[in-house]
Structure 1
């Protein structure tokens, strides 16, 4: 696959180091606004800690521990994989859930909106006089602007998650005066907007704040998992790609595909102008097979294919547990929950960078793995 195909947010998105309980009762609690105004945002460390807590609302795409649900993976709801457990995934496909009993959907809705609310509280209350906003060299240049940009892109990511699950959703952004909308759990949300409008809003938010963030942090060890400029560029490209999809493009506007392609090219250009920090991972020896294998087991801090990642919750091993073949044992026995399909295999391109159904790809049905992307 060509590099521009890999301009995506990492499958495992970052969670803050101090992870909190992920029970519904915790996530439904309203943050003490009195404490925020009087104490939290008057103190640098508490302000920084509040922003760190906003990161805990980001999901883990391998297994949504952040949603108290360790058995759901989106790939099992597509043609990419087949799940052998006749559990939630199959129940959704069989229309076994509706608005009255779909507690999974309610959980996703509630956690995403709670995370958006936390981001809005931070954006509204953080103070440049406390955080500081001086120009300096390194990652902390104009730190207040960077913190606000982190929170705004986090908010955009959570909106993106909601669009992926629900389609038309409310935009819980800023009011007419440009102030973040902070709602308590008991207050009604704004009316739903069309998915394409939400996706355009996400792209616009990323565009506004991407340059307030380091494209990649110089001190990756210290800032691993923080929102960076590259994540904003990548999220914009993804939002515009979704917007161009027939699912959200009923008129068939081909210009949307051009905008999505331009956003992806903008990422590549920005990456080149930086110091090309994001590139294909290379293992010792540069063997193509080892490169791909090593990409999945290397510390994300040292992996140049990860744009934004988060740690797995509670010290567990969902990647091995759910994806390895049955019989694989270790800290936890594997269950073979998610099994790749032939559709996923066929999605890999030829070495010419073309899909296998392209006339000039050189694909041979009798020898399907010849001249293919080694991954």
Structure 2
């Protein structure tokens, strides 16, 4: 698959076995051998792989029952309404992922020859860390490839993607590589994550004595100053063992899900639960769920106090801190707050929030009042969504969203107005001011992995493996996790969460509750699109809105979805199938 060589060449990097990659002026030439004496140059190959990690907020929510967008030419809107093809796939990660793995494979092929430091112990430690990062990142990219492109081929086999663990060069004899099975891809990811964990600390932190050096590094150094130089606080936000464990949990949950249940797939729900439990145990168990994790984006004290690469208690991995930033608010504030209102939550999502007493609004005991639908609801609703009559922004302005409200925030009044009667509040800092006369940004970070995601992964897998109250080899159950999450949210506090108690004796009801909790806790964080597909759930629920004028509440249809069942699996890029005869397409895609 000769699809990545141009990418390497374009940035004047070298391919293994090639003395010279390009033919510029003599002084500009780069060679593989230069890596051996220039560790910064060698490290650059790995750093290039960090730069193309898929974004956490990809806004694929626009293609689900959770949201629509007022950007009428948005790729996800077009995809969800009938334009998703193998040649037009905004969710493809094919080229970026294989391009990143080219860098990583080139690095791994040469890392042992690099003189990482003058100090021999530091040199060994640097080599271990850098190779661990490279293996971990390769596993990361394989996960994203498998999620986006794995699926059922025409012959009924569950297939993954081509496994490429060596650098491809102009000397490579066969680029026409077939797809590996899904199972083989999963095993390759686990193998790479094993290698990452063997070479990386759980987290990067300074130590003060040799006794604090993890056992796996004591054969490399016993000097705290050497350990701190390589594995200390200055390496924070690089790939570590905790991140590797988290991606193992993500892979396990994907592989155990209904869409990937197949005779050739050996990952079980119990495996997935065990993988997630490793992160929960490290965190400290059920009661260690961060108390303010549900509002990670708005915990101003935590965010403004970040320094030295530290993480808030909710965060396993994040992107670098952004200072004086107002991008999310510019994109998503209502128009009267000088935003573009891109993300419009649906009535479907609003209806998924239970009452504060914990009962779904459709339950006989919910006390839901359709004439006053926003009263006594799950507190997360008001935290995550701007609705008619709620307040937002620095001035706590009241936002009216009805079509006859007389404001630019009303339904379809302007191109930047909501289409559903709702605006997104999650992800935004209300202390940002977008007024052009005095724009004031704030500190921000974008997550890559949250602890809450890992707790939810365990709950889902443990319920399927052992039932609502089963624990396997652990000390907590799916029920215990969900009770803690709902308690943190402020749900069911006045009645002992009677609905959760009702569900805990029924595995199927508990599964529905867990899926709904995942929907709420992770809304607008780009999980819903992938979750619906791995669950093989209904993809075509019509996106609905709510028009509120005075005391009148009128629901209406906003946008139809146009998905076929074969779309539970994404396509192999059409251009690649055309080029390589051994690269079979997933069933249904042309």
**Match for 2:108 among 119, 123, 128?**
123
The offset of 1:246, in angstroms, is 0.9
Equivalence for 1:68: none
The offset of 1:231, in angstroms, is 0.4
Residues in 2 aligned to 1:363 and 1:46: alpha-carbon distance in whole angstroms: 64
- 1:280 has 2:290 as partner: yes
- 1:322 has 2:331 as partner: yes
Q: Provide the secondary structure at the position in 1 that maps to 2:32.
A: helix
The offset of 1:226, in angstroms, is 0.5
Do 1:80 and 1:341's aligned partners in 2 also have CA atoms closer than 8 Å? Answer: yes
Q: Provide the secondary structure at the position in 2 that maps to 1:301.
A: coil
Equivalence for 1:218: 205
The offset of 1:130, in angstroms, is 1.1
The offset of 1:52, in angstroms, is 1.8
Do 1:281 and 1:291's aligned partners in 2 also have CA atoms closer than 8 Å? Answer: no
The offset of 1:161, in angstroms, is 1.6
Equivalence for 1:340: 345
Equivalence for 2:141: 158
Q: Provide the secondary structure at the position in 2 that maps to 1:307.
A: strand
Measured against aligned partners, the alpha-carbon deviations of 1:208-228 in whole angstroms (never above 9, x if no partner) come to 422421111115762232101
Do 1:203 and 1:235's aligned partners in 2 also have CA atoms closer than 8 Å? Answer: no
The offset of 1:154, in angstroms, is 0.7
The offset of 1:239, in angstroms, is 0.3
Q: Provide the secondary structure at the position in 2 that maps to 1:308.
A: strand
- 1:364 has 2:366 as partner: yes
Equivalence for 2:33: 38
Residues in 1 aligned to 2:334 and 2:116: alpha-carbon distance in whole angstroms: 49
Residues in 2 aligned to 1:156 and 1:141: alpha-carbon distance in whole angstroms: 23
Do 1:159 and 1:198's aligned partners in 2 also have CA atoms closer than 8 Å? Answer: yes
Residues in 2 aligned to 1:190 and 1:350: alpha-carbon distance in whole angstroms: 53
Scaled by the length of structure 1, the TM-score of the pair is: 0.68
Structure 1 residue runs of 5 or longer lacking an equivalent are 1-24, 64-72, 175-179, 283-287
Do 1:172 and 1:181's aligned partners in 2 also have CA atoms closer than 8 Å? Answer: no
- 1:29 has 2:10 as partner: yes
Do 2:36 and 2:114's aligned partners in 1 also have CA atoms closer than 8 Å? Answer: no
**Match for 1:236 among 248, 260, 283?**
248
Scaled by the length of structure 2, the TM-score of the pair is: 0.46
Q: Provide the secondary structure at the position in 2 that maps to 1:61.
A: coil
**Match for 2:62 among 68, 76, 80?**
76
CA RMSD of aligned residues (A): 4.3
The offset of 1:314, in angstroms, is 12
The offset of 1:325, in angstroms, is 2.9
Residues in 1 aligned to 2:278 and 2:294: alpha-carbon distance in whole angstroms: 29
Equivalence for 2:161: 170
Q: Provide the secondary structure at the position in 2 that maps to 1:82.
A: strand
Measured against aligned partners, the alpha-carbon deviations of 1:293-348 in whole angstroms (never above 9, x if no partner) come to 2179554734122212224899975433333333333xxxx322123345556767
Counterparts in 2 of 1:343 and 1:224: CA distance versus 1, 3 Å: farther
Residues in 2 aligned to 1:294 and 1:213: alpha-carbon distance in whole angstroms: 30
Equivalence for 2:56: 61
Q: Which 10-residue stretch deviates more, 313-322 or 260-269? A: 313-322
Residues in 1 aligned to 2:65 and 2:342: alpha-carbon distance in whole angstroms: 15
Measured against aligned partners, the alpha-carbon deviations of 1:87-142 in whole angstroms (never above 9, x if no partner) come to 21122123325344x27466x32111101111111111112651259667xxx982
Do 2:136 and 2:195's aligned partners in 1 also have CA atoms closer than 8 Å? Answer: no
The offset of 1:257, in angstroms, is 0.9
Question: If each structure's strand is expressed as a fraction of its own residues, which one has the higher value?
Answer: 2
Counterparts in 2 of 1:92 and 1:289: CA distance versus 1, 3 Å: closer
Alignment of 1:128-207 (within 5 A): 130-131=115-116, 142-167=125-150, 168-174=159-165, 180-183=166-169, 188=175, 190-207=177-194
Residues in 2 aligned to 1:118 and 1:156: alpha-carbon distance in whole angstroms: 13
Counterparts in 2 of 1:317 and 1:218: CA distance versus 1, 3 Å: same
Residues in 2 aligned to 1:311 and 1:75: alpha-carbon distance in whole angstroms: 24
The offset of 1:253, in angstroms, is 8.2
Do 1:28 and 1:185's aligned partners in 2 also have CA atoms closer than 8 Å? Answer: no
Counterparts in 2 of 1:302 and 1:314: CA distance versus 1, 3 Å: closer
Q: Provide the secondary structure at the position in 1 that maps to 2:316.
A: coil
Counterparts in 2 of 1:313 and 1:279: CA distance versus 1, 3 Å: same
The offset of 1:250, in angstroms, is 4.0
Q: Which 10-residue stretch deviates more, 184-193 or 47-56? A: 184-193
Do 1:135 and 1:141's aligned partners in 2 also have CA atoms closer than 8 Å? Answer: yes
Counterparts in 2 of 1:82 and 1:39: CA distance versus 1, 3 Å: same
Equivalence for 1:20: none
Q: Provide the secondary structure at the position in 2 that maps to 1:159.
A: helix
Measured against aligned partners, the alpha-carbon deviations of 1:328-373 in whole angstroms (never above 9, x if no partner) come to 33xxxx3221233455567678999xx966xxx9983524427762
Measured against aligned partners, the alpha-carbon deviations of 1:19-50 in whole angstroms (never above 9, x if no partner) come to xxxxxx86783732243422123322222233
Residues in 2 aligned to 1:362 and 1:128: alpha-carbon distance in whole angstroms: 69
Measured against aligned partners, the alpha-carbon deviations of 1:138-166 in whole angstroms (never above 9, x if no partner) come to xx982211111101111111122222322
Counterparts in 2 of 1:198 and 1:365: CA distance versus 1, 3 Å: farther
Structure 2 residue runs of 5 or longer lacking an equivalent are 1-5, 20-29, 151-158, 207-231, 369-375, 380-485, 491-520, 522-590
Residues in 1 aligned to 2:193 and 2:71: alpha-carbon distance in whole angstroms: 38
Counterparts in 2 of 1:304 and 1:326: CA distance versus 1, 3 Å: same
